[in-house]
């Protein structure tokens, strides 16, 4: 059975070249994005571009209807409220997180990740939170601590719900980081010899056993997600899980490798609205 699944996923890999056409030395982030949009709108002409924010649900009307029903009364609202209380609790300096950030932290999540010229690397929203903590006398949170950093990030992203994703890649250093993230996305790894693109470009919208695979477009707009109720999963948690699934060694949360991957990945959703803190089964 496992071999049949692998064979199905690898069938027609030559066709992946259509979607990899942007992965050349002359590509730009916008041309990469447009190439993927062209690929998917050609493959699935009945799926509206704006519906890609729903991930695999965009391809299954019944699952989307179930999602809509659950989202009327999300089962994880208590968890989001915990994040809100953390956000509003003064730090040791007496300041709150909102006082660290432009616009009180509202409508800024859609510009992250971004390349920080002063630091010479990509920073994600979690870096911004930890910088605020350290500047105000607190210890930084662990990136993969779902009960602290996870909940705080989940709440903070609700402050940008509906904001259009707008990732900037400007300058040679930022471009190099973006290209490194793109290389990770398209490079095969692990014992199964899969790339992120194997599932989420060529096979986005196809089924793996009973599950639909989500396409790369729109994927980053709705993280963190709450799985099956109150189990929070961050985007970089999901990256690590994917690497584990193909039997590859994953880089750590907050590492340069995963931050660069998130940089590229997020840029492919530019122009799509944020869907903060959603339910997934």
Inter-residue contact 221 to 166 (CB < 8 Å): no
Q: What is the CA 41 to chain-centroid distance, rounded?
A: 21
CA distances (Å), origin 257, targets 78, 142, 143, 151: 33, 17, 14, 23
Which among 174, 166, 195, 125 is positioned nearest to 267, based on CA atoms? 166
* Torsion sign across C-alpha atoms 2, 7, 10, 15: negative
242 is catalytic: yes
2 burial class (0-12, 13-18, 19+ CB within 10 angstroms)? Answer: exposed
- Give the Cα separation of 29 and 170 in Å (integer): 10
- Give the Cα separation of 90 and 133 in Å (integer): 10
For residue 100, say whether it is annotated as part of any ligand binding site: yes
For residue 188, say whether it is annotated as part of any ligand binding site: no
Q: What is the CA 275 to chain-centroid distance, rounded?
A: 11
For residue 209, say whether it is annotated as part of any ligand binding site: no
Q: Show the CA angle centred on residue 124, arms to residues 195 and 89, nearest 5°.
A: 135
Q: Show the CA angle centred on residue 231, arms to residues 51 and 132, nearest 5°.
A: 85
For residue 238, say whether it is annotated as part of any ligand binding site: yes
| Integer Rg of the chain from CA | 19
Which of 13, 70, 242, 248 is flagged as catalytic? 242
For residue 207, say whether it is annotated as part of any ligand binding site: no
Residue 83 DSSP code? H
For residue 280, say whether it is annotated as part of any ligand binding site: no
> For residue 44, what are its two tokens?
């699935």
- Give the Cα separation of 49 and 271 in Å (integer): 10
- Positions at the binding site for substrate: 238
Residues annotated as catalytic (active site), given as ranges: 242
Binding positions are 100, 132, 196, 199-200, 238, 242
Give binding residues for heme c as ranges: 100, 132, 196, 199-200, 242
């Amino acid at each position: 059975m496992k071999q049949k699944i692998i064979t199905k996923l690898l069938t027609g890999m030559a066709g992946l070249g259509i979607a990899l056409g942007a992965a050349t030395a002359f590509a730009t982030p916008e041309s990469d994005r447009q190439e993927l949009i062209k690929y998917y709108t050609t493959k699935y002409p009945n799926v509206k571009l704006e519906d890609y924010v729903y991930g695999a649900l965009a391809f299954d009307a019944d699952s989307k209807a179930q999602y809509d029903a659950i989202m009327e009364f999300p089962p994880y609202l208590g968890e989001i409220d915990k994040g809100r209380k953390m956000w509003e609790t003064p730090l040791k300096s007496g300041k709150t997180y909102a006082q660290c950030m432009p616009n009180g932290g509202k409508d800024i999540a859609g510009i992250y990740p971004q390349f920080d010229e002063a630091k010479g690397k990509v920073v994600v929203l979690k870096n911004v939170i930890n910088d605020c903590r350290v500047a105000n006398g607190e210890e930084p949170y662990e990136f993969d601590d779902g009960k602290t950093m996870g909940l705080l990030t989940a709440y903070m992203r609700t402050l940008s719900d509906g904001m259009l994703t707008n990732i900037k890649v400007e300058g040679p250093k930022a471009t190099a980081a973006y290209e490194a993230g793109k290389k990770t996305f398209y490079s095969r790894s692990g014992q199964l010899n899969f790339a992120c693109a194997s599932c989420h470009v060529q096979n986005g919208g196809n089924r793996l056993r009973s599950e639909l695979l989500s396409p790369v477009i729109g994927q980053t707009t709705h993280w963190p997600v709450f799985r099956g109720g109150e189990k929070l999963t961050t985007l970089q948690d999901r990256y690590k899980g994917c690497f584990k699934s193909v039997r590859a060694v994953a880089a750590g949360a907050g590492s340069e490798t995963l931050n660069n991957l998130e940089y590229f990945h997020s840029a492919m959703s530019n122009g799509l609205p944020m869907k903060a803190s959603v339910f997934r089964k």
